[in-house]
Chain A
Amino acid sequence: MKLLAYDGSFSGFISLIYFCITKGIKPDYIFKFNNLPGLPVIKIKNLNIPLITKYLTSKLGKDELQNIYYAYLSEIENIESFIISYIFYRINNGYNSKINMMFQKIVKNVLYEISDLSTNLIFSKVNNIFFAKIKPYNNVIFPLSNYFSRKLPRETWIIYDVMRSSAILHLNRKNLMLNNVNFKIETKSDSVTHLWENIIRGKKIS
């Protein structure tokens, strides 16, 4: 049984992919450093990420690497080893319809959630900071924050992921990751919310 472990970040996972490809290892289970079992595990350290990214792009293509990232965000149990088995099929020009379909389904699911939240997430204004609370099934806070940092670059905002107790603070055009946070903010309706609810949502218009 081949057991591997990485630091839990996507950079760490990329290093792990590189290790598996170059050594030809197909792991059975992949652990994160903070969740190691009492079994012998090969720990993978972070390598030169830009170089590895370049290597993987040449092997798989830019779009496929992006899809791997989205699949990784799904946080399905042992998704890492599933992704690696998918990569092995892709590199060896093999085609396994079951794995391929499953991979596409996972990617589609994550992309749908990003698209859905980017449209339906609502900010409320608390002390001049725009605050939004989300409960996503997938870990989509990073792609979401990228979207909103393009949309609202000048504003200060926080997107709080209740499920993972993490948040992203956008301040001075920079995104800061906040881990293990627990915001207890009560959002009050202001004049803008009132206008939106009463006028635009069609309550007053016949």
Chain B
Amino acid sequence: MDIERKLEILSSYAKYDISCVYSKSKNLKIRPKHFIYYSQSNTGKTIPLLKVLFSNACIYDCAYCINRKTNNVPRATFTVDELVNLTTNFYKRNYIKGLFLSSAIIKNPNFTMEQMLKVVKKLRIKEGFKGYIHLKIIPGTSEILVKEAGFYADRVSINVELPTKHSLLLLAPDKKPESIQNPLILSSKTYIETIHEAKKYKSVKIYSPAGQTTQIIVGATPESDKNILSFANKLYNQYKLKRVYYSAYIAINKDKRLPLKNEEIIREKRLYQADFLIREYNFTLEELFEKSKNLNLTLDPKTNWAVNHPDFFPIDINKASYDELLRIPGIGIKSANLIIKARKSSSLSFENLKKLGINLKKAQYFIACNGKKYDKNRELTPLFLFDFTKEVNTVETPSL
């Protein structure tokens, strides 16, 4: 099989392993077709990565996966040299800035991980590849390989796939919960250890310096949004993961254990929004799920909370604390900081807020400036007022 056909197969089957798609596509029903994964850096820059599988010839039979062994799909596996050459050639032409490498499980987890590590090592050592590398750790990989992976890749991730043990055993019977948990524990431990050591000694290389991530399939099993987010919370707090990605279930396979329809992408979006509220805006899980175990799909979680708490609003922009400002729909971290900085010199009016670039479209219903609520009609009053009704009344009706 030539490299073109291999690339065609292995990049097309990598497309199901996609997350964060909602941010790129305005139409929530459309998923992107191309296989350049746009990763977001800490500085907000987007980094185009070549997203490809090392192989799709899998020995496992996970119900939700396109590459499961019982599926009749074309199979391909790169050789180490093929993938290294392909990546360096694309990188040198500036098509990509890095590699996002995942794989189906060939022979056994350790063999697969060894092959992927060979690619990464060759890129870094022989080719002097300075781009970004995101490497997926295969469940069930030995400790030595897990440890090695993080010192060559910028980010490692292990897909936990499903939020409960029961769901995992049901849909991915070949993947034992321990085979996911153990590498996850080891990589997060090593990450924390190396960070502490690097503070003492400058020469210490940080394990997976861009942190670790994981991915959860949403909608393949009946877990509620609350269950999913509380599971994600555990991953953030205990395992110190950088991000948890949610991936709306795509109905590729016909299987009794699976739903017939795709999960709505809007659910994925709402989960990301709630995830951000918990991590960055000091919301608690209980606050977001006071009335239901699932998120409201028509309203974003912050607006939904605001609508359900009319007693909390309106908030006076000139008196509110930072945390209170963050509760206002339409005001994010950047806007809250701007308000706090600007109100030090003088009290703010709605005009001032507009000049600061604060989006009042949503916020107007929940805020007040010096005790006054936003009056849209007052601002739109024209300079010259003509009372047409008077004129009409004074016109005499012609006599017949």
Show the binding face of A for B, using Cβ within 8 Å: 115, 119, 121-125, 130, 132, 148, 150-155, 192-196, 198-202, 204-206
Interface contacts beyond A200-B95, A204-B8: sample of 9 additional A-B pairs, CB < 8 Å, sorted by A: A119-B97, A122-B94, A132-B94, A195-B7, A198-B4, A200-B11, A200-B35, A200-B90, A205-B8
Given A199-B11, A205-B11, check contact A115 B45 (CB 8 Å): yes
* Cβ 8 A contact of A119, one of B7, B48, B50: B48
Q: What's the minimum C-beta distance from B45 to chain A, rounded to whole angstroms? A: 7
0/1 string, B28-62, CB within 8 A of A gives 1: 00000111100000000110101000000000000
CB of A153 within 8 A of CB of B11, answer no
Please name all residues of chain B whose beta carbon is closer than 8 Å to the beta carbon of A201 when the two chains form the complex: 34
Closest B-chain residue to A154, C-beta based?
Answer: B128
Show the binding face of B for A, using Cβ within 8 Å: 3-4, 7-8, 11-12, 15, 33-36, 45-46, 48, 50, 86, 89-90, 92-95, 97, 128, 130-131
Q: In the complex, what distance in Å separates the CA atom of A154 from the CA atom of B88?
A: 12
Among A115, A124, A202, which residue has the most Cβ atoms of chain B within 10 A?
A202
Q: In the complex, what distance in Å separates the CA atom of A119 from the CA atom of B131?
A: 13
Q: List 30 A-B contacts (CB under 8 A).
A: A119-B97, A123-B93, A124-B93, A125-B93, A130-B93, A132-B94, A148-B94, A151-B94, A151-B131, A152-B92, A192-B89, A192-B90, A192-B93, A195-B3, A195-B86, A196-B90, A196-B95, A198-B4, A199-B4, A199-B7, A200-B34, A200-B50, A200-B95, A201-B34, A202-B34, A202-B35, A205-B8, A205-B12, A205-B34, A206-B33
* Cβ 8 A contact of A122, one of B4, B15, B95: B95
Among A119, A130, A150, which residue has the most Cβ atoms of chain B within 10 A?
A119
Q: In the complex, what distance in Å separates the CA atom of A153 from the CA atom of B92?
A: 10
Please name all residues of chain B whose beta carbon is closer than 8 Å to the beta carbon of A132 when the two chains form the complex: 94
Please name all residues of chain B whose beta carbon is closer than 8 Å to the beta carbon of A125 when the two chains form the complex: 92-93
Among B35, B46, B92, which residue has the most Cβ atoms of chain A within 10 A?
B92
Given A115-B45, A199-B7, A205-B8, check contact A150 B130 (CB 8 Å): yes
Q: What's the minimum C-beta distance from A122 to chain B, rounded to whole angstroms? A: 6
Closest A-chain residue to B45, C-beta based?
Answer: A115
Closest A-chain residue to B128, C-beta based?
Answer: A154
CB-CB nearest 10 A-B residue pairs: A202-B34, A192-B89, A202-B33, A205-B12, A123-B93, A199-B7, A199-B8, A196-B95, A123-B94, A204-B8
Q: In the complex, what distance in Å separates the CA atom of A195 from the CA atom of B8?
A: 9
Q: What's the minimum C-beta distance from A171 to chain B, rounded to whole angstroms? A: 15
Please name all residues of chain A whose beta carbon is closer than 8 Å to the beta carbon of B4 when the two chains form the complex: 194-195, 198-199
Please name all residues of chain A whose beta carbon is closer than 8 Å to the beta carbon of B34 when the two chains form the complex: 200-202, 205
CB of B128 within 8 A of CB of A153, answer yes
CB of A205 within 8 A of CB of B35, answer yes
Please name all residues of chain A whose beta carbon is closer than 8 Å to the beta carbon of B86 when the two chains form the complex: 195
Closest B-chain residue to A124, C-beta based?
Answer: B93
Q: In the complex, what distance in Å separates the CA atom of A194 from the CA atom of B3?
A: 12
